[in-house]
């Protein structure tokens, strides 16, 4: 069995294989309609994993930029918290808190950092 994913947004549906694969928009008619507006994935001689290491060394531009990965990770965390609580949650992007569920917000905030690590927990 091959790994894969389907991602539903408000207006679009995406499908893809493993985490390193390019996503496709479905249905195909919608993908063709949007083709000219989509960003191009930079070509690279390295695979997904090697690209990450070379980007860390400053030898390539990463194809998975942290400017995308950071907010995407936040969305996944919010999804996990919604699943754990079984509730619909409301997230305030500016204040970075869940506004309608105290327990969910406690899960989001997590325990306080260890002494000396406080600076690394600031958003």
Answer whether 104's CB lies under 8 Å from 82's CB.
yes
pLDDT in tens, the chain (123 residues): 677 788 888 888 888 887 667 788 888 888 888 888 887 766 667 888 898 899 889 998 887 777 888 888 888 899 999 999 999 999 998 998 999 999 999 998 888 899 999 998 876
Distance CA(48)–CA(60), nearest Å, equals 12
Q: Count CB-CB contacts under 10 A for residue 98.
A: 23
Residue 61 and residue 45 in contact, taking contact as beta carbons nearer than 8 Å: no
Angle between helices 102-109 and 66-85 (to 10 degrees): 140
* Contact (Cβ atoms closer than 8 angstroms) between residue 88 and residue 82: yes
Which tokens belong to 7?
Answer: 């991602």
């Amino acid at each position: 069995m091959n790994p894969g994913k389907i991602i539903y947004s408000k207006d679009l549906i995406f499908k893809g294989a493993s985490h390193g694969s390019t996503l496709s928009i479905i249905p195909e008619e919608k993908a063709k309609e949007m083709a000219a507006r989509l960003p191009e994935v930079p070509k690279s001689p390295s695979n997904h994993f090697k690209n990450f290491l070379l980007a860390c060394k400053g030898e390539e531009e990463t194809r998975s930029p942290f400017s995308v990965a950071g907010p995407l990770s936040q969305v996944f965390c919010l999804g996990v918290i919604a699943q754990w609580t079984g509730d619909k949650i409301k997230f305030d992007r500016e204040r970075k808190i869940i506004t309608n569920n105290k327990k969910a917000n406690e899960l989001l905030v997590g325990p306080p950092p260890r002494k000396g690590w406080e600076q690394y927990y600031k958003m």
